[in-house]
């Protein structure tokens, strides 16, 4: 009965998200959608066989700060006010960490995590989140994440990102998500966005006998690892569909450090005709290496009233 209720909630949220008004107050979605769709149509028109069944068109998205305002693993802190806690802390509080106890463990985790992130590197900090949950049942983490996405996190999705994603999917462009958040958290976002869970890729650890281990699955989906993951996804899709041409039309991210490499890879492709689109959301000024490569936009409106 519990699973039926969760399934109903996920379907309801997905329907609400995909029934949003065609235009948000933010004006950048329509030009971006049009540019991507025009490129797709130009490719079809220029092909020897213009049938859309001969192509697979893709778009790749970061998740935290790109689709979701804030971070599903770390939470959202707005000027010292916590809008929502992250799933890392919730998992610790629920007793799913073998390192940090439910009582007081979250404070110790944050101290360790920030030390790794700021003094050593994000390459160590981000994988530590699923690693510190080693021994936990995968099913328990999934249940916790599904409930939190359906009741809390989906309310913080950017309206403009949802509008673009919805339009791309409707017009036959498959959207895939590559995130530096823990894959065991991220997978729960799939039903709230109306996408198949196979299109969601976060930082993974090996699962043994239904429980998380500390062993990482490579590539780690952070920075250059995101580009490697994108390339492997495209290669696998092409292998499964040897009679079709796989084309990446667009990329979306919010961080030059975390998302820059995979976005640059997409932006600098040579397509059969036209140009790919890479959109940097709330990313600020471009480092020299990425100058003039990305469409830069600002957005803040969310599905919920925040």
Q: What does pTM read for this prediction?
A: 0.90
Q: What gap in Å lies between CA 291 and CA 283, rounded to an integer? A: 12
Between the CA atoms of 119, 122, 127 and 130, what dihedral angle is there, to the nearest 10 degrees?
A: 80
Q: Per residue in 16-33, pLDDT tens? A: 444 444 444 899 999 999
pLDDT at 51 over 80: no
Tell me the domain boundaries of the chain. Answer: 2-71+156-297
Q: Decide yes or no: CATH 3.90.79.10 for domain 2-71+156-297.
A: no
Buried b (16+ CB within 10 A) or exposed e, 155-164: bbbbbbbbbb
Q: Per residue in 92-151, pLDDT tens? A: 999 999 999 999 999 999 999 999 999 999 999 999 999 999 999 999 999 999 999 999
What number of helices (H) and strands (E) belong to the chain? 11, 9
What is the pLDDT at residue 18? 45
Q: Average per-residue pLDDT in the chain?
A: 92
Q: And the tokens for 13?
A: 């949220």
Q: How confident is the model at residue 53 (pLDDT cuts 50, 70, 90)?
A: confident
Q: Per residue in 213-236, pLDDT tens? A: 999 999 999 999 999 999 999 999
Q: Per residue in 159-188, pLDDT tens? A: 999 999 999 999 999 999 999 999 999 999
């Amino acid at each position: 009965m519990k699973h039926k209720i969760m399934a109903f909630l996920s379907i309801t949220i997905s329907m609400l998200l995909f029934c949003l008004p065609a235009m948000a107050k933010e004006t950048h979605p329509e030009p971006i959608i049009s540019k991507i769709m025009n490129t797709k149509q130009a490719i079809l028109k220029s092909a020897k066989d213009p049938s859309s069944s001969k192509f697979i068109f893709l778009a790749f998205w970061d998740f935290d700060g790109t689709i979701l305002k804030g971070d599903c693993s770390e939470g959202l802190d707005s000027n010292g006010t916590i809008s929502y806690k992250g799933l890392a802390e919730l998992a610790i509080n629920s007793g799913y960490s073998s390192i940090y106890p439910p009582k007081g463990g979250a404070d110790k985790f944050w101290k360790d995590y920030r030390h790794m992130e700021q003094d050593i590197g994000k390459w160590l900090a981000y994988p530590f989140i699923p690693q510190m949950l080693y021994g936990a049942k995968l099913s328990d983490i999934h249940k916790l994440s599904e409930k939190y996405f359906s009741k809390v996190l989906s309310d913080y999705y950017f309206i403009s990102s949802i509008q673009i994603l919805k339009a791309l999917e409707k017009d036959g462009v498959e959207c895939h998500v590559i995130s530096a958040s823990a894959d065991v958290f991220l997978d729960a976002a799939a039903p709230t966005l109306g996408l198949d869970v196979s299109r969601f890729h976060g930082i993974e650890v090996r699962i043994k006998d239904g429980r998380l281990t500390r062993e990482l699955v490579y590539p780690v989906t952070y920075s250059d690892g995101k580009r490697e993951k994108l390339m492997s996804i495209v290669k696998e899709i092409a292998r499964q569909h040897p009679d079709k041409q796989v084309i990446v039309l667009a990329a979306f991210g919010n961080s030059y450090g975390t998302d820059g490499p995979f976005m640059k890879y997409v932006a600098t492709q040579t397509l059969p005709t036209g140009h790919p689109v890479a959109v940097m959301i709330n990313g600020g000024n471009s480092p020299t290496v990425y100058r003039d490569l990305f469409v830069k936009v600002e957005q803040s409106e969310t599905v919920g009233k925040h």
